[in-house]
């Protein structure tokens, strides 16, 4: 990714959100933001021409474009507002720190289905293109485009306010926002690999955006444990980021990672957040997920990982959040216990196949167990199945090597 691309990606959510606050129209805000970026490419002669505050320049430009369009179409006074609340009299259309958070709450309105919330957030808040969103959601591009259009129309029809909800509405809205922010991070943790900027293992633009939004949520709700837990979970995961690939750019799994390369500052911050969250809300699903990440973070080595405690934590997580992905992770953890029977764990994983039909890590987990059982041919087939479900190029190369090794055995 070039330097200017990084500038545009960082500014995108602020520009779209601030323009939406001014225009009260998501479609118009997105179109004007895109045109503002195109004008910037023509107006900024490389790094020398980049203004001190690119987001403010882009926001001001997008707002002027919006005003020109509305005047040109002679609809300024009769355009139906997207939102119930009108702009305040002193609103100058410039960016405000909470604008991206307002946009996230708008995208995650309960009137929308969860996949629509995710698609709209990835598009408007993170600037992800339709092809990459389709890879994240494991669906077709045309379906994603229709879902985004329907979501915008539904928001307009419901006259959804462009704001952070009042205190009495927050509890009902918070879980959806936390879930979508986590999915944004997950999408960046292993980028879909659908374009040039996702050619590596991860998309730091997405992971950084998710962490930034989580920090905003913690500041907004300092007494709520789950935003702290989510932020802690992401920081603990991010701490391992540079160790997930070797000097050759190839994938390095957790057992083989050089733990001296983990970011100890992020680990300290993450552990503090997770500890506080577990004390305040020990049954929260993000707190329990963060607890697992914390156990990995404090283990001196793979061999010294406390798998018994990890299994206990997954048991608790399954009780509060009975997800097939959690069940898969629990089975993998059980397979790491001393004396575990790989055949029994394999049967447990196979029972989840119907619920995780497109999930790439299920056949990858099966392949590992089959290799441990000496069933090399079946392991190679399982690796092939995992390859068919994986889009990230770094992961694909890793799986291809494992498949070849299993075939040789």
Q: What is the pLDDT of residues 171-206, one digit of tens each?
A: 778 998 999 899 889 988 987 654 434 458 888 888
Low-confidence ranges of the chain (pLDDT < 70): 1-3, 46-48, 73-97, 138, 192-199, 407-409
pLDDT in tens, 273-282: 999 999 998 8
Give the per-residue pLDDT at 90: 44
Give the per-residue pLDDT at 242: 92
Give the per-residue pLDDT at 391: 84
Give the per-residue pLDDT at 311: 98
**Share in percent of the chain as helix, strand, coil (round to 5):** 70, 0, 30
* CA quadruple 243, 123, 389, 198: dihedral sign: negative
Buried-exposed string 22-51: b where 16+ CB fall within 10 A, e elsewhere:
bbbbbebbbbbbbebbebbeeebeeeeebe
* CA quadruple 26, 31, 37, 43: dihedral sign: negative
Give the per-residue pLDDT at 43: 84
Q: Concatenated DSSP letters for 51-107?
A: -S-HHHHHHHHHHHHHHHHHHHTT-TTTSPPSSSSPPPTT--S---TTHHHHHHHHH
The values of phi and psi at residue 251, to 5°, are -65, 135
Give the per-residue pLDDT at 125: 86
pTM for the whole thing?
0.82
What's the half-sphere exposure (Cβ side, CA atoms, 13 Å) at 46?
1
Give the per-residue pLDDT at 192: 60
Give the per-residue pLDDT at 86: 41
46, two tokens: 């490389």
Q: How far apart are CA 378 and CA 350, in angstroms?
A: 13
């Amino acid at each position: 990714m070039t330097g200017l691309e990084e500038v545009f990606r960082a500014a995108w959510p602020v520009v779209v959100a601030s323009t939406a606050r001014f225009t009260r129209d998501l479609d118009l805000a997105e179109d004007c933001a895109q045109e503002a970026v195109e004008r910037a490419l023509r107006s900024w002669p490389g790094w020398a021409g980049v203004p001190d505050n690119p987001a403010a320049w882009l926001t001001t430009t997008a707002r002027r474009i919006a005003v020109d369009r509305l005047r040109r179409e002679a609809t300024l006074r009769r355009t139906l507002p997207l939102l119930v609340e009108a702009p305040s009299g002193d609103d100058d259309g410039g960016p405000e720190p909470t604008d991206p958070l307002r946009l996230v709450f708008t995208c995650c309105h309960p009137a929308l289905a969860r996949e629509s919330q995710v698609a709209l957030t990835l598009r408007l808040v993170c600037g992800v293109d339709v092809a990459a969103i389709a890879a994240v959601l494991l669906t077709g591009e045309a379906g994603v485009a229709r879902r985004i259009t329907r979501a915008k129309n539904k928001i307009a029809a419901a006259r959804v306010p462009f704001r952070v909800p009042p205190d009495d509405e927050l509890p009902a809205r918070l879980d959806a926002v936390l879930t979508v922010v986590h999915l944004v991070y997950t999408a960046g943790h292993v980028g879909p690999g659908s374009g040039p900027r996702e050619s590596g293992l991860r998309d730091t633009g997405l992971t950084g955006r998710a962490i930034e939004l989580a920090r905003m949520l913690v500041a907004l709700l300092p007494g709520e444990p789950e935003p702290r837990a989510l932020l802690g979970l992401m920081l603990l995961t991010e701490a391992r980021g540079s160790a997930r690939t070797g000097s050759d750019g190839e994938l390095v799994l957790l057992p083989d990672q050089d733990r001296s390369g983990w970011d100890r500052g992020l680990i300290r911050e993450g552990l503090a957040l997770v500890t506080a969250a577990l004390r305040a809300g020990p049954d929260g699903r993000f707190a329990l997920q963060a607890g697992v990440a914390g156990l990995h973070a404090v283990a001196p080595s793979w061999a010294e990982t406390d798998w018994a405690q990890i299994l206990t934590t997954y048991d608790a997580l399954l009780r509060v959040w009975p997800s097939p992905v959690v069940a898969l992770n629990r089975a993998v953890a059980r397979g790491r216990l001393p004396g575990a029977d790989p055949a029994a764990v394999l049967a447990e994983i196979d029972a989840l196949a119907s619920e995780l039909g497109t999930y790439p890590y299920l056949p990858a987990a099966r392949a590992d167990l089959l290799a441990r059982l000496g069933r090399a041919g079946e392991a190679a087939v399982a690796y092939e199945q995992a390859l068919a479900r994986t889009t990230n190029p770094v992961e694909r190369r890793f799986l291809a090597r494992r498949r070849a090794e299993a075939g040789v055995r």
